A and B are shown apart, each in its own frame.
Chain A
Amino acid sequence: MTKSRKQEFTEDEGHGIQAEERPSPDAAQKSEGVLYLGIDLGTSRTSVSASNGVRETVASYVGYPKDAVSRKLLKKSVLFGDDAVNNRLALEFYRPLEHGVLKCSESGDTEHAGNLKAAQDLIAEIIRRAKPRKDELIYSVIGVPAQASINNKQAIIDAARATVDSVMLCSEPFSVAYGLDMLDDVLVIDIGAGTTDLCRMHGTMPEDSDQITNTYAGDWIDNRLGELLRESFPEAQFSIQMVKKIKERFSSVADEMDSVRVELPVKGKPTQFDITREMREACRSIVGPIVEGLSQLISTFDPEFQDRLKERVLLAGGGSQIRGLDSAIEREMELRLGSGKVMRCEEPVYGGASGALKIAHDMPAEFWEKLK
Chain B
Amino acid sequence: MTEATTSSSRRAVKPQALSVHQMMQLMQLEVDRAIEHRYPIACLMIGLDGFADSADRNLRQRLMPLVFGELKVVTFERKVRGLGLTQDDFVLAVFPHVTPEAAVELAEDVLQRGRDLEPPFLPQDRPVTLSIGIGHNVHENEQSFHVLTEDAASGMKVAQSKGGDRHVRWREVESELDRLREELDAQIQEITSHSLEAIADQAALGREWGQGVIDKALGLFDRAPETTDVIRLKKEVVAMLSVEVEDLLRSPVFEELGERERQIEMLERRVRKLTDSLDKTEGELKRIASMKSIDTGIASIYDFVQGLDMSEGNAEQKMEMLTNIFESNFVFQKGESKT
Contacts of B307 in A (CB 8 A): 3, 6-7, 28, 362-365
User: Would A367 and B300 count as touching, CB distance under 8 A?
Assistant: no
Closest B-chain residue to A133, C-beta based?
Answer: B297
Q: Which residue of chain B has its CB nearest to the CB of A9?
A: B323
Interface hit among A15-23, A38-46, A311-319, A332-340: A15-23
User: Nearest chain B CB to A264's CB is how many angstroms away?
Assistant: 43
Q: Mark A98-129, 1 if CB is under 8 A from B, else 0.
A: 00000000000000000000000000000000
Q: B residues 267-296 with Cβ under 8 Å of A?
A: 295-296
Q: Mark B292-327, 1 if CB is under 8 A from A, else 0.
A: 000111111111111111100010011111111111
Q: How far is the CB of A149 from chain B (nearest CB, A)?
A: 12
Is B121 at the interface (CB under 8 A from chain A)?
no
Shortest beta-carbon distance from A254 to chain B in Å: 37
Q: Is the CB of B326 within 8 A of A367?
A: yes
Report if A269 contacts B (CB, 8 A): no
Q: Is the CB of A53 within 8 A of B298?
A: yes
A137 to B304 alpha-carbon distance, docked (Å): 9
Quick one: which of A35-58 are within 8 Å of B by CB? Answer: 35-36, 50-54
Please state if B298 and A28 are interface contacts (CB–CB under 8 Å).
no
Pick the contact of A135 from B295, B304, B319 — CB < 8 Å? B295
B308 touches A34 (CB 8 A): no
Contacts of A362 on B, CB cut-off 8 Å? 306-309, 318, 322
Q: Does B333 contact A (CB under 8 A)?
A: yes
What residues on A are CB-neighbors of B317 within 8 Å?
A: 183-184, 203-204
Interface check A157, CB cutoff 8 A = yes
A17 touches B323 (CB 8 A): yes
Q: Across the interface, name the chain A residue whose C-beta is closest to B317.
A: A203
Separation of A353 and B319 alpha carbons in the complex (Å):
20
Given contacts A16-B339, A134-B297, A371-B333, is CB(A1)–CB(B306) below 8 Å?
yes
**Interchain CB contact under 8 A, A30 and B301:** no
Give the distance to chain B from A282, nearest Cβ to Cβ, in Å. Answer: 36
A166 to chain B, nearest CB (A): 9
Q: How far is the CA of A153 from the CA of B308 in the complex (A)?
A: 25
Contact check, A2 vs B295: say whether CB atoms are below 8 A apart: no
Which of chain B's residues have a CB closer than 8 A to the CB of A168? 325-326, 329
Contact digits for A155-182, partner B, Cβ 8 Å, 1 yes 0 no: 0010000000000111000100010010
Q: Are B321 and A365 in touch, CB under 8 angstroms?
A: no
Give Cα A363–Cα B308 distance, bound, in whole angstroms.
6
A73 interface hit (Cβ, 8 Å): no
Assembly CA distance A131 to B330 (angstroms): 27
Tell me if A52 and B304 are in contact (CB < 8 A): no
A51 touches which one: B300, B326, B339 (CB < 8 A)?
A: B300
User: Once the chains are docked, how many angstroms separate the CA of A183 from the CA of B310?
Assistant: 16
A133 to B301, CA, bound (A): 12
Say yes or no for B37: interface residue by CB 8 A criterion: no
The docked-state distance in angstroms from the alpha carbon of A29 to that of B314 is 25
Taking a contact as CB atoms under 8 Å apart, the answer to whether B301 and A1 are in contact is yes
Which residues of chain A are near B324, meaning CB under 8 Å?
204-205
Chain A residues near B21 (CB-CB < 8 A): none
- Nearest Cβ distance between residue B127 and chain A, in whole angstroms? 83
Contact B321 A136 (CB under 8 A): no
Instruction: Determine the chain A residues whose CB is within 8 A of the CB of B332 once the complex forms.
Output: 150, 153-154, 157, 169
Contact partners of B320 in chain A: CB under 8 A:
204-205
6 extra A-B contacts, CB within 8 A, seeds A7-B319, A371-B326? A6-B307, A34-B303, A157-B333, A359-B322, A364-B308, A367-B322
16 A-B contact pairs sorted by A residue (CB < 8 Å)? A7-B310, A33-B303, A34-B304, A36-B300, A50-B298, A52-B299, A54-B298, A131-B298, A133-B297, A133-B299, A170-B325, A359-B325, A362-B307, A363-B307, A364-B307, A370-B330
Question: Which B residues are within 8 Å of any A CB, using their own CB?
Answer: 295-310, 314, 317-327, 329-330, 332-334, 338-339
Q: 10 closest pairs, A vs B, by CB?
A: A133-B297, A205-B324, A365-B305, A35-B300, A362-B308, A52-B298, A367-B326, A29-B304, A28-B305, A168-B329
